[in-house]
């Protein structure tokens, strides 16, 4: 079987570099090229320079249209303002578009949905296979356990993170609430301090730790009398998002047009 030709938009960024490494290491994938913007300082240079290896003969350009044309799938971890243009190019080319970029507004979201009527788009705010599997496991556990099991979520991130709880922790809480037919906002307990009173039945509690360079740890605990179930994921590097995106690229190649998530890629739906 021939290798999948994967292009990387935003290849000089933190995630772009992780993607280049993941593609370079994968036997079943071939790097078709990379683009970025002038202010990255990387235009006209060989991608091998980013990877710290010999020249690959792939020069970093700023023409995503050509990248779509010469790739089977294109992975995009860039910036929200770039998304609408890339959506149009993905639709025009009919190639799989793997979108990891977050923070899009309603107009950009509409452009993504429109592109997905013409090509396969995989979009996920967290492309890690492990995190998506954890969400699926937590959903199943919450559906199986009755509300005698108290659900608590603990997350730990590096000291530079400015928001809390993490988006992933909230997604885990959302999965529990949905499985239990609850309104997530109404049952969430964010931080406890002082005389809090007893725990409310059905509450989903959040606890947050910050320190060092921890990439991201998440634990969901289901606790009842005399027993406790703990489901944990620990992220070690950005490579997990890159490898997940690459897996999505292989899955989406030759799939019919549609807007897919990592649930589809990992077969976790239904
Ligand atoms: P970054 O700033 O390090 O990299 C972004 C790169 O995209 C830069 O090199 C920038 O020059 C380039 N870029 C911007 N506009 C472009 C355009 N129009 N065309 C080509 N290149 C362009 O950021 P990052 O940490 O790599 O994150 C990128 C995005 O991915 C963010 O939205 C972030 O939240 C998201 N992200 C998603 C996941 C996930 O699993 N889905 C994981 C990590 C980061």
Q: Return d(Cα 60, Cα 229) in angstroms, integer.
A: 48
User: pLDDT digits over 12-36, tens only?
Assistant: 999 999 999 999 999 999 999 999 9
Catalytic residue among 86, 157, 218, 250, which? 157
User: pLDDT digits over 121-166, tens only?
Assistant: 999 989 999 999 999 999 999 999 988 899 999 999 999 888 899 9
What pLDDT score was predicted for residue 125? 86
Is 4-123+238-266 CATH 3.40.50.720? yes
Q: In degrees, to the nearest 5, what angle opens at C-alpha 136 toward C-alphas 134 and 142? A: 100
Q: Please, which pLDDT band fits residue 205 given cuts at 50, 70 and 90?
A: very high
What pLDDT score was predicted for residue 103? 84
**Does the pTM exceed 0.85?**
yes
Which part of the chain is CATH 3.40.50.720?
4-123+238-266
User: Which residue owns the Cα nearest ligand 1 atom 31?
Assistant: 101
For residues 176-200, average pLDDT: 95
Q: Report DSSP letters for 142-196, one per residue.
A: HHHS-TTSEEEEEEEE-TT--SSS-HHHHHHHHHHHHHTT--HHHHEEE---SS-
Is the pLDDT score of 113 beyond 70? Answer: yes
The secondary structure of residue 241, as a DSSP letter, is H
For residues 85-113, average pLDDT: 96
Q: Is 242 in the pocket of ligand 1 (CB under 6 A)?
A: no
Whole-number Å distance, alpha carbon 82 to ligand 1 midpoint, is: 10
Q: Which two tokens stand for residue 171?
A: 């997604």
Which segments of the chain are extended strands (E)? 4-9, 29-35, 73-76, 96-99, 120-123, 150-157, 188-190, 204-210, 216-224, 227-235, 258-260
- CATH class assigned to 129-235: alpha beta
What are the distances in angstroms from CA 245 to CA 99, 222, 258? 8, 30, 17
Q: Is 119 in the pocket of ligand 1 (CB under 6 A)?
A: no
Is the pLDDT score of 218 beyond 90? Answer: yes
Is the pLDDT score of 167 beyond 90? Answer: no
What are the distances in angstroms from CA 19 to CA 10, 79, 193? 10, 16, 42
Whole-number Å distance, alpha carbon 218 to ligand 1 midpoint, is: 23
At a CB cut-off of 8 Å and minimum separation 6, what does 24 contact? 31, 51, 53
Whole-number Å distance, alpha carbon 44 to ligand 1 midpoint, is: 19
Closest-CA residue to 153 (of 268, 230, 237):
230
Is the pLDDT score of 186 beyond 90? Answer: yes
What pLDDT score was predicted for residue 72? 98
What pLDDT score was predicted for residue 270? 63
User: Which residue owns the Cα nearest ligand 1 atom 14?
Assistant: 78
């Amino acid at each position: 079987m021939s290798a999948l030709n994967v292009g990387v938009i935003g290849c000089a960024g933190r995630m772009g570099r992780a993607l280049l490494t993941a593609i370079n290491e994968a036997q079943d994938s071939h790097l078709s090229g990379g683009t970025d913007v002038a202010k990255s300082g990387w235009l006209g240079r060989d991608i091998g320079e980013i990877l710290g290896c010999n020249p690959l003969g792939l020069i970093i350009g700023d023409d995503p249209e050509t990248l779509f044309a010469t790739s089977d799938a294109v992975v995009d971890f860039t910036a929200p303002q770039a998304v609408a243009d890339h959506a149009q190019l993905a639709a025009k080319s009919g190639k799989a578009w793997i979108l990891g970029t977050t923070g899009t507004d309603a107009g950009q979201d509409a452009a993504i949905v429109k592109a997905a009527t013409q090509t396969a788009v995989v979009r996920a705010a967290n492309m890690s296979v492990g995190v998506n599997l954890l969400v699926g496991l937590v959903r199943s556990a919450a559906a199986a356990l009755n509300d005698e099991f108290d659900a608590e979520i603990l997350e730990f991130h590096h000291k530079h993170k400015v928001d809390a709880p993490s988006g992933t922790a909230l997604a885990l809480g959302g999965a529990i609430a949905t499985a239990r037919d609850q309104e997530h906002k109404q049952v969430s307990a964010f931080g406890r301090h002082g005389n809090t009173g007893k725990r409310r039945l059905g509450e989903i509690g959040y606890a947050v730790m910050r320190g060092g360079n921890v990439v991201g740890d998440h634990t969901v605990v289901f606790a009842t009398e005399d027993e406790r179930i703990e489901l944990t994921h620990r992220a070690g590097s950005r490579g997990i998002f890159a490898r997940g995106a690459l897996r999505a690229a292989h899955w989406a190649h030759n799939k019919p047009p549609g807007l897919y998530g990592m649930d589809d890629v990992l077969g976790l739906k239904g």
